[in-house]
Amino acid sequence: MLRGMEKRAVLFDFGGVLLRQDWHAYDEFGRDHGLPEGALRDALYRTPEWRALNVGQGDRDSWAAAAIRELPRFVDSRAEVVFEAWRARPFERHEPNIALAQALKAAGTRLGLLSNAAADLEQLITEQFEVHIDFDDRVISGVVGVAKPEPEVFHLAAERIGVRPEGCFFIDDLPANVEAARSVGMQAYNFVGDDYEGLRSALLAAGYRWE
């Protein structure tokens, strides 16, 4: 057993919880560029190159080349143009969730980041996405070499932030990751769309206070 562990922590996913990542917007973009539903998401996030990038064994150039390789089945020679148009889209943040995280931190709650992403998310969080949250710890799959929904990464996040899994409240936009967190004893919430009030209500019901 670990000694001196804090009792409570909230762990945030990044994409989909702090940075907007609405899958219906991916499909809308795809339709506008002649892609069937799900094709863009498959090309971007369901290739071996993406999985390698997520655990620190690949690079963004290989991932981009794989996505461009997948798209010609639908858009022929326009694959690179479509990919670059997607990458050039302006990003949006979930501002209410960022404010919530900042308020939780100010109230004394330990805050963690637990994200499946390339290692460079460490820098991009503030430098590109301008998300300024004073996390107590960040577990990024591309840095630690293991990704959600593997149980190991949830145990690692709990240990590094100094809280037993039972004292962690995890927030993610993907049901499989939420279920995996619950399987190791964490409380977890599946944040979808703009369900800010639902998330706040769940945190309040779990005993967290920030105001």
Residue range 126-143, pLDDT digits in tens: 999 999 999 999 999 999
- pLDDT, greater one: 1 or 97: 97
- Segment holding 188, helix H or strand E: strand 187-190
Give residue for tokens 């992403």.
117
Residues 120 and 176 in one domain: yes
Q: Domain range for residue 35? A: 23-87
Instruction: Pull the structure tokens for residue 93.
Output: 């943040």
* 5 band by pLDDT with thresholds 50, 70 and 90: very low
pTM for this model (two decimals): 0.91
Residues 78 and 121 in one domain: no
Residues 73 and 111 in one domain: no
Beta bridge partners of 19: 15, 93
Instruction: For residue 159, give the CATH number of its domain.
Output: 3.40.50.1000
Secondary structure in 3-state letters for 3-30: CCCECCEEEECCECCCECCCHHHHHHHH
Number of domains in the chain: 2
Residues 81 and 133 in one domain: no
Gap between the Cα atoms of 68 and 50, Å rounded: 12
